[in-house]
Structure 1
């Protein structure tokens, strides 16, 4: 899933495959699992402890997504000009500092700065770390290792959902420090695991435009719409459970842990279904399940059904990646280089849609729009992705 940033062959000796895999896992844990998703269970606490108003807390999540977009766009230019291990270490350090800096109950602008910083570093790590690690992994093992790498996102969600209620007994500042301490551990664990990888020249990333391939454009737009559907979960899930539906912060944290455990299993589960059913069935089914789950989470149903909805979405947060990759390969059969460019375009669309969606939904929330409307908007975006994907399948069959 990182072919667009593949290194050139014959890289110099470096750390073992196991150490490189650990480094990539820690990068996902720190840059996305904690620095992005670790913020979600903090939102109701920031509001109840009067650090920020509800709208401000939502905007901070949106600023992180905006930073992620910037980081994804900056990643390749940075890696072509600087040693890759330096870029990756600096990005992990920035994520850790950003979490620690938020322990100070400072003005809103201070938090905007550090949420953007953690977003930028997360975007850089997401683009560059898997490619660096997979350069040390034999081709026949890259699928399994890729699943391990993105398992760091799920572990970060589980860790934040488990630790936040415990750390809050000491205070909100201490909670930020605890999450920051996890990031520091991740930085140290990954420090010597990054291989020295020569980045391919500009030719490896040039021509990333999808061209005139209608099927590829459909995949790109569907992936962006699916990412837009994830935004309410990334920003509001815990707060909606804790305050919106009145279940309390412990119930919100439990829902977030279930979400994270599902995310841990997501790539393996979705990969297995794709192998069994084929991409043409697995991807539309994934869109349909997500749309139903997004609506279920805000429906007036028993709490256990809310957990089911959160788990379904959690599976697809990382699990949608192998399914979309499969559709990209179908759209560009037998052309790995164009497939890599197509995936780069998909990644850019995802970053753009989540950043725009995060800002837009935060603005709506600040103006008093309820959780039910925001989650239903997310469900609608996924329904549009389903309809567009089915239309693309019909177009392909007619051809």
Structure 2
């Protein structure tokens, strides 16, 4: 039913917007000004970033263990409102360091739960032929959330850091209330949904190849997701205007990520589309070290922003397309792998930073890891295509 398709698309879009876009990236966007306003050290800022990654890992593991039943809606709502409160809790200074660490962990847990449970609800409630379009619209929410986190950046020199956090809290609260309304509508569908018993393929090496390259992207993504604004401000010494422009390009790219993956998938198929996206991703990370021309920095901002939600959406849909009823479990494992690798990457890059390794060297390391993951995916997907044909 079209109205149900629209509601499912809106539900997934808002879940991704809140869980990943706002709860995850608001911290990156506000890090430089928050660090100054709250008198945080660089080391403590890195700890908070790692705390969020740890929370995301905990949330993904918890979601994997939850049964696929109507109670998922309660956990989705709990995650949404807990994450909303975590934003409010960051709006106040002069608390102990443990206060901010606790709430960044809660924010990460909320993101992990929303990332897994919300697509699983959609998979239960939508028709198979509607999955691609619903997931494309839904995963666009990641980019919309990042874009929301950038809207007020040009005005940070005119508003207080506390006001910026209050604005994000307002966005999150509104989204949580809409999610609560939508879940009441879907609740009646859960008991009537019967999953099909026949996935398209049995679980095979293709899944593990997807898992490896997806995890590699999680590691490679860390420098841009945690330190990009800090790199622009303290390494390249860009002024507020250029920092804002880079971050707005990042947010704009994120908003276009899912639709770019959708267009490529429709034209070339899932596997070729993923190869194209991951190959561009390697280059987009690497050109961050070429700071002699602002165009290159802008390009890196735009394409790294675009490619993360693009590969997240297309990886999720490919797993759903290939493995049917096993989707929730396999997407949970993929998200858990992403979270573990991202946490390792966060600790690794924070350690390298502490040891004095430059951001340029970190970007090179990130691109090399993703290039290796992409290479094995090229090799295995070619074998897989030959077997299927």
Distance 1:227 1:338 in 2: 23
Q: CA distance change for structure 1 residues 282 and 139 in 2, over 3 Å: closer, same or farther?
A: closer
Q: CA distance change for structure 1 residues 20 and 391 in 2, over 3 Å: closer, same or farther?
A: closer
Report the more deviating stretch, 273-282 or 298-307: 273-282
Q: Which runs of 5+ in 2 are unaligned?
A: 197-201
- State whether structure 2 residue 287 is matched by structure 1 residue 296: yes
Distance 1:30 1:328 in 2: 23
| Partner of residue 307 from structure 2, selected from 316, 319, 333 | 316
Does structure 2 conserve the Cα–Cα contact (< 8 Å) formed by 1:167 and 1:178?
no
Does structure 2 conserve the Cα–Cα contact (< 8 Å) formed by 1:228 and 1:354?
yes
Corresponding residue of 1:214 = 205
Distance 2:333 2:123 in 1: 20
Distance 2:383 2:123 in 1: 35
Distance 1:35 1:26 in 2: 12
Does structure 1 conserve the Cα–Cα contact (< 8 Å) formed by 2:64 and 2:332?
no
Corresponding residue of 2:261 = 270
Q: How does 1:88-127 map to 2 (within 5 A)?
A: 88-105=76-93, 106-127=95-116
Corresponding residue of 1:351 = 339
| Partner of residue 365 from structure 2, selected from 377, 384, 388 | 377
Report the more deviating stretch, 31-40 or 158-167: 158-167
Alpha-carbon displacement from aligned partner over 1:283-336 (angstroms, at most 9, x marks no partner): 232222111110112312321221112211222111113543576589x6xx53
| Partner of residue 138 from structure 1, selected from 123, 127, 132 | 127
- State whether structure 2 residue 149 is matched by structure 1 residue 160: yes
| Partner of residue 353 from structure 2, selected from 365, 369, 388 | 365
Q: Which runs of 5+ in 1 are unaligned?
A: 1-14, 205-209
Alpha-carbon displacement from aligned partner over 1:194-249 (angstroms, at most 9, x marks no partner): 1216489xx99xxxxx97x3333222111101111111111011221122211123
Corresponding residue of 2:41 = 53
Distance 1:340 1:82 in 2: 14
| Partner of residue 223 from structure 1, selected from 210, 214, 219 | 214
- State whether structure 2 residue 52 is matched by structure 1 residue 64: yes
Query: Any idea what SS the aligned residue of 1:191 has?
Result: helix
Distance 2:296 2:191 in 1: 47
Distance 1:280 1:184 in 2: 38
Corresponding residue of 2:199 = none
Normalising by structure 2, what TM-score? 0.87
Distance 2:328 2:81 in 1: 29
Q: CA distance change for structure 1 residues 219 and 76 in 2, over 3 Å: closer, same or farther?
A: closer
Query: Once the 2 structures are TM-superposed, how far is the Cα of residue 157 of structure 1 from its aligned partner?
Result: 1.0
Aligned length: 377
Distance 2:26 2:279 in 1: 27
Q: CA distance change for structure 1 residues 368 and 393 in 2, over 3 Å: closer, same or farther?
A: same
Distance 1:326 1:24 in 2: 13
The structure 1 segments of at least 4 consecutive aligned residues displaced by more than 6 Å after TM superposition are: none
